[in-house]
Amino acid sequence: MPSMATTTSPTTRRTATPAARGRQRHTIANPRKNGMLTFFTGLFAFYCLLPLIWLVINSTKSQTEFVTTFGLVPGERFALFENIAAVFTHDDGIFLRWLLNTLLYVVVGATVSTFLAALGGYALAKLEFTGKRVFLFVVLGSISVPGIALAIPQFLLFAQVGLTNTPWAVLIPSFLNPFGLYLMWVFAAQAVPTGLLEAAKIDGAGEFRTFVQIAMPMLAPATVTVLMFSFVAIWNNYFLPLIMLKDPAWYPLTIGINQWNKLATTAGNGELLQNLVITSSLLTILPLIGAFVMLQRYWQSGLTLGAVKG
Amino acid sequence: MAALTHTGPVAGAPAPASTPRRMRTRRRQIGWAFVAPFGALFALVFIVPIVYAAYLSLFQERLVGGRVFAGLANYTKLAADPQFWDGFARVVRFTLVQVPVMLLLAMALALALDSMRLRGSKFLRIAIFLPYAVPAIVSTLMWGFMLGVRYGLFRNLNDWLGTSLDPFRPGATLVSIGVMVTWAFTGYNMLIFYAALRAVPHELYEAAAIDGANQWRVIRAIKLPALRGSLVVTIIFSIIGTFQIFNEPQILPSMVANSGITTYYTPNLYAYNLAFTGSQQGYAAALALVMAAMTIAIAYAVQIRGMKRALQD
């Protein structure tokens, strides 16, 4: 964006000499571009993109060429579509099952957790009730408890009630999003005018209806952010499904890929299927990267929220 | 989105005839109805497991006699367990190096983006953030292949140079994991810093320009102080993250041989192995609780220091 602004919007500075008028003029908001700075930032961006470039290049190679050719140049044969077909047909098409499992966990988990966070965050910001401060204090304190410390007792508890090895074992813990509640609380306090809520109640709307029809639309930017980040957290979750699920039929993509990778590396007597591991990895990250790139306007504004209040 | 946020008040039905006082007492507690679903879930997946872990940590699994009450024996055993302290020391060393490096990089990048002096800054911003969207398993696979000497770029490099560099030799593995973690999270922290910088009122920069302040002075006097709040948040979240590092050391041994990764390489890996392969659940629960307590203590210490600093200024 700023780079466009340099060429399209002529800035009006009275001190500019006639000679300078033809060239770009620079202000505080629009300073001269710096080549060195761009170079070093670009270098870091290269570090960030290199593994992704490597992944794209190698998903177009056959298993043989993956082993024999240099990692950063394409092979002689373009085998991407063969690899994709192999990913979807290997082991009776279990990859599709893993993809659908992941979608189930992500869609249900992110929707429920975001709704509960919005409901709770709104109430904490806009409604008075006894015990509110204690509730907030306990929930915010829980954010710094490492998730893995919880997962082991969660597993043991779920095992006792027979929930392990079912989708519930992954879904129920993902319904809880304390950081989402915090974001919603901060946002509701700023963005939802109390007067409007009062007006709705005077008009006879119940508390819940006021929340759904008045507050929810105003919470939309925070909702997109919380939804997006819980989407990523659940899509990328590894530890929880790793300990909760034994049956490959309920695996999400992350655990499924890990299983293929283990098969691929027990080479010798195992099968060589690194091309499947690499292509399935690419297919796993594409939806998220696509969503982030397309929705950046929304989640970037949401991040501002956490940063300023923090 | 803009249209949604400006939705006007909904014309409600005519007010029902209810006494104002009943309304008020009901309204005072109706907040609980809103937080109840979250609260119930919180009790179920947070409080109950913690209490259960505390209970379990008082028991030991014995070959003869099964699960027996052991008092605080698990905790005293942990205090004297060289494998636990080896993993703990490794995580502390990792945190002391990786977190400052990552946050300094993130801050420098955020300042560079905010300076408006970059070409293609929109592309750079999203490119640096993208690794955040990549699952740890995929990230470990990519870096494991790339840095590996069997298939990866280091095999090619060693072939060309005649060297035998190995990023996953026991002494270097932790550095390689640092490269992976830094790759994954620098962009996220950068965006948090960047968002804080964007919130600085523009008039401050104009005033600084009138005073003749140069770029460095503006950074020191305006931008760095504006980053303090988000710095506390990012330090806390980074420490929580590095203290529970698990995915990379759990996945890597299946990719590279002789990486030096032991079953107790990090405390979480140790807890996992104790609980699921060693079936020492009481001991694993004690370990998890001790790690959680230490993480919380450090997070609070950072927060209190950050608040003190803010008060002094």
Residue A107 resides in a domain: yes
Domain with A127 in it: what CATH number?
1.10.3720.10
Question: Which residues in chain B have their CB less than 8 angstroms from residue A119's CB?
Answer: 34-35, 37-38
Q: Which of A34, A257, A289 minimises the CB distance to B117?
A: A34
Which amino acid appears at position A263 of this protein? L
**Cα-based torsion angle of the residue sequence B128, B133, B135, B136 in order, rounded to the nearest 10 degrees:** 30
Which 3 state secondary structure label does DSSP give B69?
Answer: strand
Q: Spell out which residues of chain A touch residue B118, defining contact as CB-CB under 8 Å.
A: 2-3, 33-34, 37-38, 41
Surface of B (123-152) touching A: CB under 8 A: 123-124, 126-139, 141-143, 145-146, 151-152
Ramachandran bin of B6, using left for φ above 0, alpha for ψ from -120 to 50, beta for the remaining angles: alpha
Q: Which residues contact A200 (CB under 8 A, 6 or more apart)?
A: A209, A210, A213, A214, B9, B10, B12
Looking at chain B, which residue has its C-alpha nearest residue A135? Answer: B39
Identity of the amino acid at A21: R
pLDDT value of position A15: 44
Burial grade of B203 (CB within 10 A; 0-12, 13-18, 19 or more): exposed
Task: Give the H or E element holding residue A229.
Answer: helix A220-235
Asked whether residue A66 is assigned to any structural domain, the reply reads no
Choose the mutation target among B32, B141, B219 for the interface with A, i.e. most A CBs under 10 Å.
Answer: B141
What is the number of other CB atoms lying within 10 angstroms of the CB of residue B5?
12
At B50-73, the pLDDT tens digits run 999 999 999 988 877 778 898 899
Lowest mean pLDDT among A99-108, B81-90, B159-168: B159-168
Burial of B158 (0-12, 13-18, 19+ CB in 10 A): middle
- At B182, the pLDDT band (50, 70, 90 cuts) reads very high
pLDDT, averaged across chain B? 86
**B281-312 and B228-243 are packed helices; what angle lies between their axes, rounded to 10 degrees?**
170
* Interface contact A127-B193, CB threshold 8 A: no
Give the pLDDT mean for A41-64.
94
- State residue B68 phi and psi, 5-degree precision: -125, 150
Q: Which residue segment(s) compose the domain that A267 sits in?
A: 80-309
Is the Cβ–Cβ distance between B187 and B128 less than 8 Å? yes
Indicate whether A48 pLDDT > 70: yes
Number of domains in chain A: 1
Sign of the CA dihedral B33, B37, B38, B43? positive
Binary contact (B198, A135; C-beta < 8 A): no
Tell me, what's the ipTM?
A: 0.85
C-alpha of A73 from chain center: 30
Would the CB atoms of B116 and A29 count as touching at under 8 Å? yes
Q: Which residues of B touch A220 (CB under 8 A)?
A: 1, 4-5
| Domain B73-312, CATH | 1.10.3720.10
> Does residue A65 lie in a domain region?
no
pLDDT at B307 over 90: no
How far is A239 from A256, CA to CA, in rounded Å? 13
Residue B19 has pLDDT above 70, yes or no: no
Question: Does the distance separating the beta carbons of A144 and B299 come in below 8 Å?
Answer: yes
Q: Which helix (H) or strand (E) holds B61?
A: strand B59-62
Across the interface, whether the CB atoms of B1 and A156 are under 8 A apart is answered no
Q: Does the beta-carbon distance from A149 to B288 stay under 8 Å?
A: yes
Question: For chain B, what are the domain ranges?
Answer: 73-312
Give which of B251, B255, B277, B250 is closest to B265, Cα–Cα: B250
The arithmetic mean of pLDDT across residues B165-194, rounded, is 93
For residue B55, which residues of chain A lie inside 8 Å, CB to CB? none
Subunit contact A130:B29, Cβ cutoff 8 A: yes
Residue A42 maps to a domain: no
**Beta partners for residue B61, in sequence order:** B67
Number of H helices, E strands in chain B: 16, 2
**Strand ranges, E, within A129-258:** none
